[in-house]
Amino acid sequence: MTVVPCIAVDIDNVVLEFQKHWAGLHDNWFGTELLIDHLRSEVNAFLRGYEVEDPLAKWDAITTKSRFDNGRDFFRWFNKADGWKTMPTIPGALGACWRLNELGVPWFFCTARPGAGMQPAEKLAKKFNVPVEFLSAADKWTIGADWYIDDSAVVLDNVRTKGRNLNGAQAIRIRKPWNDHLGPHDIACDTLADAVTYLETEVLS
């Protein structure tokens, strides 16, 4: 009997562009230059070979780089700014979800989105006719998927050590500056599209 693995796909920074989106909104509302500085740092690293500080390099930038010093106030503003509703997709990500459907494997969205972020997440799940589970990053491992595609270091760590009933599940790390320290000995991909291609060629074939 072939066992078909079940795949949990994270939403923010995997399917939808959270970091650059909130930074751009914040710049627009408050006149900061977070997104501009982020893009400057990427261009410098790419063209000139040296790094300048990237304000979005750390996961806690929403409180250390924004005008808000706690998550509650940040997300209260983000909701008011329609941040959840207007978040753009990452190029190739919707096509990768489409491909998962074509492959006929069981998969679902698993996200730590709070409050107002749930509705757009549910809409996304409806689009692909899959479930969506709302769990904190610290608890995602408890859902019992075989494979997780995620960018959160907490999720990836927990999945590998405690997932699938404490025996350890498989994780594909979507490479971001805040999870760099987990490499290089894990499965890492730049995009969801690359992760799905990996699953298709290495796991499902």
Give me the residues that bind Mg ion (CB under 5 A), please.
10, 12-13, 151
Count of H-run helices and E-run strands, the chain: 8, 6
Q: Which residue lies nearer to Mg ion by CB, 10 or 54? A: 10
Q: Which residue lies nearer to Mg ion by CB, 40 or 114? A: 114
Question: Which residues fall within 8 angstroms of residue 128, CB to CB, at 6 or more apart?
Answer: 97, 98, 100, 101
Q: Which residue lies nearer to Mg ion by CB, 54 or 151? A: 151
CA neighbor of 52 nearest in space, from 42, 41, 38: 41
**Shortest separation between residue 112's beta carbon and Mg ion, angstroms:** 7
CA distances from 157 to 8, 18, 64, 165, 170 (A): 15, 21, 23, 15, 10
Residue tagged 């549910």 (tokens): 122
**Shortest separation between residue 117's beta carbon and Mg ion, angstroms:** 11
Distance CA 87, CA 83 (A): 6
CA dihedral 7, 101, 94, 176 (to 10 degrees): 20
Q: Which residue lies nearer to Mg ion by CB, 13 or 158? A: 13
**Shortest separation between residue 15's beta carbon and Mg ion, angstroms:** 9
Q: Which residue lies nearer to Mg ion by CB, 17 or 200? A: 17
**Shortest separation between residue 59's beta carbon and Mg ion, angstroms:** 9
**Shortest separation between residue 154's beta carbon and Mg ion, angstroms:** 10
CB atoms within 10 A of CB 199: 25
Q: Which residue lies nearer to Mg ion by CB, 34 or 149? A: 149
**Shortest separation between residue 11's beta carbon and Mg ion, angstroms:** 7
CB contact at 8 A, 146 and 45: no
Q: Would you call 190 helix, strand, or coil by DSSP?
A: coil
